[in-house]
Structure 1
Amino acid sequence: MIDPEIHYAVEPRLPVSDFKKLLISSGLGASRPVADEERLSTILLNSFLLLTARTKEPDNRLVGIARGISDASWCCYLSELAVCSSMQSRGIGKGLLMEAKRVLGPEISLILVSVPEASKFHGNTGMAKIADAFWFKRER
């Protein structure tokens, strides 16, 4: 069930401070360069898709984000899907995925590589699991 008290929007000018705070509050901060605000700024600047989930007025608190990079024609790699820990299990992550799918349209595949702790969640979103994927892990 998707939480009706959450507003989803494309937000291309998301402040670095908000992004950093959400990464930390979601638990993803442990695997992201949250101490390097210049790098976080570059990450945001070069994103193709920045979707946010915010509580409705008057609070308007950022509680989730989906960030993707894309060729705008064939695929979009969702490099972050984060929901602050106090708001998890309310359908916000699924809401962000459905909004990303809607915004991207029917011709663009949505690809997500999950952190191991979230694999169970992603299995319940309707996304197909891909067995054969490979990567070179960054060195820093």
Structure 2
Amino acid sequence: MNITYKINEIVDVEQFINLLNNTTLGERRPVNDYNCIQGMLKNSNLIISAWVQDQLVGIARSVTDFNYACYLSDLAIDEKYQRFGMGKQLITLTQAQLGPRCKITLLAAPAAREYYKHIGFTQNEYCWTLDRHQTVTSLANK
């Protein structure tokens, strides 16, 4: 299998949606909201993609300052192409674009928790999220 990896190659919205639908991430991403997916791609500043000919088969989509923090928003590999080391290669290529002090952070899907541990990520119990419909509460109200 001949896989080509590309850095910041333009990824079409439909290609990305098709890839997500061929992974478990499709269940947790807004694949029916074209504008949201388009914004996800447009506003990512580091995208490493994997291709078999002209078919997108893997992606590592990140938002980063390249020096201190890199949030790996999506690591998606088409289910037909999993278990060939593509995820590790996408992460390795992502790291290669970052400065020496830059740390990759991600939120693991339930099915991927063991994968990240297996490839060397350290689990951090201090991650917090705030959904858009939630509001920040005042300490005075506590």
In the superposition, the TM-score normalised over structure 1's length comes to: 0.87
| Equivalent position of 2:106 in the other structure | 112
Residue 29 of structure 1 deviates from its aligned partner by: 1.1
In structure 2, the CA distance between the partners of 1:12 and 1:5, relative to structure 1 (3 Å rule), is closer
Identical aligned residues as a percent: 32
* Aligned counterparts, 1:39-78, within 5 A: 39-55=36-52, 59-78=53-72
In the alignment, residue 123 of structure 1 is paired with which amino acid? K
Asked if the contact 2:66/2:99 (under 8 Å) is kept, the reply is no
Greater relative contact order (Cα < 8 A, sep 6+): 1
Asked if the contact 1:48/1:70 (under 8 Å) is kept, the reply is yes
Counterpart of 1:11 (choices 8, 13, 18) is: 8
- Residues of 2 paired with 1:61 and 1:122: CA distance? 25
Residue 137 of structure 1 deviates from its aligned partner by: 3.1
| Equivalent position of 2:95 in the other structure | 101
SS of 1:135's partner is coil
Instruction: Give aligned pairs, total.
Output: 133
Runs of 4+ residues deviating >4 angstroms: none
**How much is the aligned-residue C-alpha RMSD, in angstroms?**
1.5
In the superposition, the TM-score normalised over structure 2's length comes to: 0.86
Structure 2 stretches lacking a partner, 5+ long: 134-142
Residue 22 of structure 1 deviates from its aligned partner by: 0.6
Asked if the contact 1:67/1:81 (under 8 Å) is kept, the reply is yes
Residue 12 of structure 1 deviates from its aligned partner by: 4.1
- Residues of 2 paired with 1:116 and 1:138: CA distance? 21
Asked if the contact 2:68/2:103 (under 8 Å) is kept, the reply is yes
| Equivalent position of 1:125 in the other structure | 119
- Residues of 1 paired with 2:98 and 2:5: CA distance? 14
Residue 110 of structure 1 deviates from its aligned partner by: 0.8
| Equivalent position of 2:17 in the other structure | 20
- Residues of 1 paired with 2:35 and 2:110: CA distance? 27
| Equivalent position of 1:30 in the other structure | 27
- Residues of 2 paired with 1:105 and 1:120: CA distance? 27
SS of 2:115's partner is helix
